[in-house]
Structure 1
């Protein structure tokens, strides 16, 4: 019993596991949807989906010169507003709703939004979320 007292707790709460599992399911859904759009609507739809699957993490380029002065895992504070804006699920979800309700029909845009939502969902599934104003992961 005394040996257990000094061990660190590595298990996740059931709610965290459930939340991350749900995000992973959404990530797989949006990835499959993006691939389907790319197959159905050509290379441009696939290219835009792939671009927005990667693009949100390039927000750190805003403050590339600040990187050597940052702590491990810290994003330069100047890049945080851009990073957080690109990692809020409400933005691409609102755009998808607008796309479906408005008389707009350009499938590559929809594929790109699917790729963007897939990126956000993968980040949440693997424990990466929005950043504090100092650039650290929110706990």
Structure 2
């Protein structure tokens, strides 16, 4: 049986978590600057976590679904399109989505590896048995 993959550790892990915190702070500032309702922000902030349901299909499909929703690529593209087309709702949705990703990364919830929910690119989630 293979040993589950291990994520980054030490200073690099701290740096990546600080990067997540910076993303969260930047997106909160952009959201405040945009002047959109904070009720919308609060209502949608944890929506990406519905992707946890993918784990009902198993670890590999769960990781694929979770990672598809928790990568910055799609909300980044949505943000760009919203800015170019002058669509404030698209911008707000993208900013909320990116803020959520930053929040998760700051807490150490990284992109998932197919070994199981607790194995991420930021390291193991939870207590590690000795």
Taking structure 2 as the reference length, what is the TM-score of the superposition? 0.69
* 1:24-82 CA-partner distances (Å, limit 9, x unpaired): 12211112322443xx24x4x851x3344211111123455x6xxxxxxxx75443322
Q: What RMSD over aligned residues (CA atoms) do the two structures have, in Å?
A: 2.5
Q: Which has the higher strand share?
A: 2
SS in structure 2 of the partner of residue 20 of structure 1 = helix
* Unmatched tracts of structure 1, length 5 or more: 1-11, 67-74
- How many pairs does the alignment contain? 112
1:86 has 2:105 as partner: no
| Structure-2 change in CA distance of 1:109 and 1:51 (3 Å) | farther
Who wins on radius of gyration, i.e. which is larger?
1
* Unmatched tracts of structure 2, length 5 or more: 1-8, 124-130
Q: How does 1:1-139 map to 2 (within 5 A)?
A: 13-37=10-34, 40-41=35-36, 43=37, 46-47=39-40, 49-62=41-54, 64=56, 76-101=59-84, 104-136=85-117, 137-138=119-120, 139=123
